[in-house]
Chains A and B, each alone.
Chain A
Amino acid sequence: MPASTTAPAATPSARRRPLAWTLKDLVLLVVLGVVFGFLYWALVQAWTGAAILFGDLTQHVLLGGWLLAAPVAIAIIRRPLAGLLAEVLAAVIEVIFLGSPVGPTLLLAAALQGLGSELPFALTRYRRYGWLVYAFSGLLGAALVFFYSAFRSGWYGTDLLTIRLIVQLISGVLIGGLLAKVIVDALARTGVVDNFAIGRDLSRAR
């Protein structure tokens, strides 16, 4: 077998610049924001009936859906601030492209959600991707944004405050946390994320 010529054995450039975000990563965040934003809208269309039934509490039940983008983004890209950026971009898309009536203050809420979701992953150095980390991610994301929303929407001083908090936290853990892990694992199996950090990590572990 002929020997290789003098060219250096090339390495994927991600190994050479581990901290630099690639355009592929940024576009993935945008894709997550666009898809989850669209699905949220489609869900609301499909179940306006349920929304009327739950009334004002629906927003707490559905809050977990808002949190999904962050852990999914972190698990695929495995870089610091992926979750925060994913949430902020999703909010930007909601406000600018989809004309959400909540307005640009949604960005503040999104930042808090992203921060809360990011924390458990950051604390485990972006190396642990088990059920518990995801669950805490959903819990913290839901909790952090709750206190902001409570102020903004005037829930303080009402009888329902505790109920709202509990529903929101449960939604956060189940939908924003555990469901996120289900989605990430399923995505990894399909092979569409093989070229991201998750794909490299999984193939190295094999």
Chain B
Amino acid sequence: MTGYLARRNPTVKLALLFAVSLATFFLFDPVTPAVLYLLALAAIVIGARPEPRALAAAHLPLLAFALGILMVNALSRPGTVLWQAGAARVTVEGLEVGAALGARALLIGILSFGFVVCTDAVALLTSLYQHARLNERVCFALVAGYRMLQQLGGEWEVIRYAQRVRAPLGRHGQPKAGPARFGLAAFALLVMMVRRGERVAQSLEARGLGRGARTVWRPVPLTSHDGWFAVAVLGGVALTIGVSVLAGVARGPSALFGG
């Protein structure tokens, strides 16, 4: 992980992610989130230097999701009809609200992507323990959970193979697949991981977790750079929203109800 953003304190980044997401909660116009999205995209490309392929791959589900929202709203929101074909009708209000919600989904999605691509999960948890006073047992239970998550893919694959061996054959001579098979494999995975979790908890306690008064071997830095970064981000967002309010572009939740 390289770049300006990767060097910033993870707790600060998380808090900013939260703050910006909340700030856009009450925005229901398409322009403001779209502008914020473009700003965020620029910031992430410059500050986190993600792989182009990863960036594109992250956009696919986001765009699909946003388009879906746009379409559903356009077709299902009552108001001034723009275009009609039989039972389906597209309304102006539907398009506006749909575009707004879609843009917001894009914004939050790109911010989440940016966050994950420049933040190490374990560093984040350590930082939360150091700076946000997160309970140490919760913190390291989650760190252990991160490791267990890494193991899940492999275990899931083996379980699927193992259960296919005795699965009855379907019409084409292949072992039958389907929700029942998925459920059985899912349950086997759950049993295995619950048992492993109990042993992990024993390991953690055997290592002394929970005594209180711990030191941190490699503390995550929190510097004045992080402070300025926060100011810059919050200021930028506030400015954008302020400008759009002044320009009369911004719309609040009343837009949902045709106001």
Using a CB–CB distance below 8 Å, which chain A residues touch chain B? 21-24, 26-31, 33-35, 37-39, 42-43, 46, 55-56, 89, 92-93, 95-105, 151-154, 156-160, 183, 186-187, 190, 192-193, 195
13 more CB-based (< 8 A) A-B contacts, given A97-B121, A153-B101, A158-B77: A21-B137, A23-B201, A24-B201, A27-B204, A30-B144, A30-B145, A38-B149, A89-B142, A101-B58, A101-B105, A103-B111, A154-B69, A183-B190
Contact A192 B112 (CB under 8 A): no
**A23-B137, A28-B194, A56-B72 as given contacts; A105 in contact with B21, CB under 8 Å:** yes
Instruction: Mark each residue of chain B from 68 to 102: 1 if its CB lies under 8 Å from any CB of chain A, else 0.
Output: 11001100111000000000000000000100110
Binds A, one of B215-223, B226-234, B251-259: B251-259
5 contacts between A and B (CB under 8 A): A23-B201, A23-B205, A34-B145, A103-B108, A160-B72
- For B77, the chain A residues whose CB sits under 8 A away are 157-159
Binds A, one of B1-9, B181-189, B238-246: B181-189
Contact A154 B97 (CB under 8 A): yes
Query: In the bound complex, how far is the Cα of B157 from the Cα of A38, in angstroms?
Result: 12
Closest Cβ–Cβ distance, residue B243 to chain A (whole Å):
23
- Which residue on A lies nearest to B187, using beta carbons? A186
Contact B124 A96 (CB under 8 A): yes
**A23-B205, A27-B144, A101-B61 as given contacts; A96 in contact with B73, CB under 8 Å:** no
Query: In the bound complex, how far is the Cα of B65 from the Cα of A84, in angstroms?
Result: 28
**A24-B201, A101-B109 as given contacts; A38 in contact with B195, CB under 8 Å:** no
Contact A160 B76 (CB under 8 A): yes
- For B144, the chain A residues whose CB sits under 8 A away are 27, 30
- For B58, the chain A residues whose CB sits under 8 A away are 101
- For B257, the chain A residues whose CB sits under 8 A away are 156-157
Name which of B17, B28, B111, B194 has the most chain A CB atoms within 10 A of its CB: B194
Q: Is B250 an interface residue (CB 8 A)?
A: no
B-side binding surface: helix, strand, loop or mixed? helix
Name which of B156, B201, B204 has the most chain A CB atoms within 10 A of its CB: B201
**A158-B76, A183-B187 as given contacts; A46 in contact with B182, CB under 8 Å:** yes
**A93-B142, A157-B258, A186-B187 as given contacts; A99 in contact with B194, CB under 8 Å:** no
Closest Cβ–Cβ distance, residue A40 to chain B (whole Å):
10
Closest Cβ–Cβ distance, residue A22 to chain B (whole Å):
8
Partner of B73, one of A99, A101, A154: A154
Contact A26 B108 (CB under 8 A): no
Partner of B191, one of A23, A102, A190: A190
Query: In the bound complex, how far is the Cα of B183 from the Cα of A39, in angstroms?
Result: 10
Q: Is B22 an interface residue (CB 8 A)?
A: yes
Query: In the bound complex, how far is the Cα of B193 from the Cα of A1, in angstroms?
Result: 42
Query: Which parts of B14-35 form the interface with A (CB within 8 Å)?
Result: 14, 17-18, 21-22, 25, 28
Instruction: Mark each residue of chain B from 126 to 146: 1 if its CB lies under 8 Å from any CB of chain A, else 0.
Output: 000000000001100110111
Q: Is B51 an interface residue (CB 8 A)?
A: no
Contact A102 B108 (CB under 8 A): yes
Contact B194 A193 (CB under 8 A): yes
Partner of A103, one of B97, B112, B189, B196: B112
**A28-B197, A153-B69 as given contacts; A95 in contact with B141, CB under 8 Å:** no
- For A195, the chain B residues whose CB sits under 8 A away are 198
- For A95, the chain B residues whose CB sits under 8 A away are 112
Contact B141 A38 (CB under 8 A): no
Contact A27 B200 (CB under 8 A): yes
